[in-house]
Chain A
Amino acid sequence: MSRMDRRSFLRAVARAGLSAAALASFPPALRAALAAAKPAAGAAPDTSGPPEMIVRNDRPEHWETTLEALGRSWITRNDRFFVRSHLSVPTPDLDAWRLEVSGLVHSPLSLTLAQARALPLETDAVTLECAGNGRGLMKLPSTAGTQWGRGAVGNASWTGVRLARLLERAGVAPEAKHVWFEALDQATFPGPPPFLRSIPIEKAMDDVLLALAMNDERLSPLHGAPLRAIVPGWYGMASTKWVTRVRLEDHPSDSFFMAKGYHYVYPGEDPAAAPPVETMRVKSVITRPIDGSEVQLAPRTDNKKKPRLRVQGFAWAGPAGVRLVEVSSDGGKSWFPAGFMGDMAKGAWRAWATEFEVTPPARFALMARATGNDGDVQPLEARPNGSGYANNSIHKVTVRVRLAT
């Protein structure tokens, strides 16, 4: 544990409020450090935390964006972008940092950060969604993992080195079939497996970026500084943060988070045959109106016309992209297409909006359903799987409307 990590870890443990018995069970050195890190009696309660985010776990950081914040713009601000880390955030020595390309390549590479930054850079807007987004809403007999709501998703503009160009420079051997991303994050206590995953060579040679910047700012430590993978169309776990080595192998990574984690284990089916979690399922989210809110509608100047309620959100899918978003106000009996608006990019979500004429005062539910270019349609209820992955159930919000006075 680096000194910095250790200090923040100790502070976090101190905040958690340990019982005397627990303290006694720690090794003396850790006990002394904990005592020193304990906040003084009468200290103000901990009100820190990222604004407009839902802290589902504080160590390591599992932060979800509120739908209010998410809905504001097609690009999600860096400080409103969801955070999901498996282990603790590393703070590498950037002078010693190297990006290595090794394994089944003709000429292995080792680049300093300055060298990596000097390579030709490309920028793509890419939507990332945590595979567990919506897990907390999936009906399962037992929970598992972080109980995310709907905001573990965001869209950013990523700038970096195209992985394919780097691999071409290193010269890919014909037997290379999988690209492993090795990263710098480690647990605060020895034991847990490294977060090591791989992607197939076809994907690596297609549109993957090794990003150095997010929305025109250098990557922050939370988002993978100094360099992370961005794998468009795949759930977020594929976009490894803090990458320091790209290794070419003839087989996929067999690490825990690849071989055991991130599989769709459906009840009653053989876990050994469970399909891996890879591309994102077609999905849409309603960011306006907010579920449970009351909306005041301005009367129309022509009094015979009903006031209008604007409904909007984002929709995305895996590599196929979205073709259609429809909205229902009658529980799914009838659906009306929404219009797409604003920016468009291959790996990015699309903003959509529509308007409904309403008769206030009223209370009703709105549902949004996306369809992908591959014909996949968002289901009313996604099929439950043990770890609650890829919940793309249709989003339903209830809203009350009143006439503004």
Chain B
Amino acid sequence: MTIAVATALGATAPAKPAAKTAAPVSKSAAPSKAPAKSPAAAKPAAKTAAPADTTPAPARKPYANVFADGPGRPIADGACLLCHSPMLVTQQAKDSAAWEKTLTQMIGWGSPVTTAQRDTLRRYLLGHYGTHPPTVK
């Protein structure tokens, strides 16, 4: 169930048509008078301010930086790491046709995949980095 919990406070920007026609969130929730502290008055931190936090969060690396084990891995290791790291590959979720398209491009650009290896590689990529509901990590 959706309960109206949030009520917009008065706009500080010049009134726009949207505000006029917007239905109040709840009966008591019509945009009220200007907020105590107008956002316009609250300037963001100084332009080049250092983060307040003294120990910033470390880098996040959401994708595997090695190829998954499997029959095609040696081919991928040999042919797909010369120009970029495996992360560019392991973050993908492609169907067979899309992997085929990528392989054609990479081989065209110099990736040393032999004709004999190509099918094994495509099946390996599809098996490990095939389509699934896309999610951003």
Contacts and interface: CB of A to CB of B under 8 A. Distances in A.
Interface string B84-113: 111110011111011000100000111110
Interface in A17-41: 17-19, 21-23, 25-26
Contacts of A144: 92, 94, 98, 102
B3 to A, nearest CB: 7
A53 interface: yes
B116 interface: no
Given A355-B39, A358-B5, A55 B25 contact: no
A326 B16 contact: yes
Contacts of A335: 18-19, 22
Nearest to B11: A337
B27 interface: no
A140 B92 CA distance: 12
Given A190-B110, A340-B13, A330 B2 contact: yes
A364 interface: yes
A198 interface: no
A16 B39 contact: no
B125 to A, nearest CB: 12
Question: Could you say which interface size class chain B belongs to?
Answer: 35 or more
B74 to A, nearest CB: 3
Interface in A302-345: 306, 308-310, 312, 324-327, 329-331, 333-343
Interface in A334-363: 334-343, 351-359, 362
Contact of B44 (A52, A55, A69, A342): A342
B13 A26 contact: no
Interface stretch (A71-79, A158-166, A174-182): A71-79
Interface in A375-393: none
A106 interface: no
A54 B88 contact: no
Interface stretch (A56-64, A226-234, A239-247): A56-64
A142 B93 contact: yes
Nearest to A336: B8
Given A73-B48, A355-B39, A51 B109 contact: no
B94 A142 contact: yes
A364 B5 contact: yes
A72 B19 contact: no
A333 B8 CA distance: 13
A21 B117 CA distance: 13
B94 A22 contact: no
Contacts of B134: 136-140, 143, 147
A122 interface: no
A19 B70 CA distance: 11
A103 B16 CA distance: 49
A189 B6 contact: no
A338 B13 contact: yes
A268 interface: no
B136 A149 contact: yes
A52 B57 CA distance: 5
A366 B94 contact: no
A353 B8 CA distance: 11
Given A56-B62, A77-B48, A337 B16 contact: yes
Nearest to B22: A334
B15 A364 contact: no
Contacts of A354: 8-9, 11-12, 39
Contacts of B42: 341, 353
Contacts of B95: 141-142
Nearest to B4: A330
Nearest to A187: B83
12 contacts: A54-B61, A54-B62, A58-B61, A72-B51, A77-B48, A138-B134, A191-B111, A330-B2, A333-B23, A335-B19, A336-B31, A340-B13
Leading 3 A-B pairs by shortest Cβ distance = A191-B110, A49-B59, A339-B12
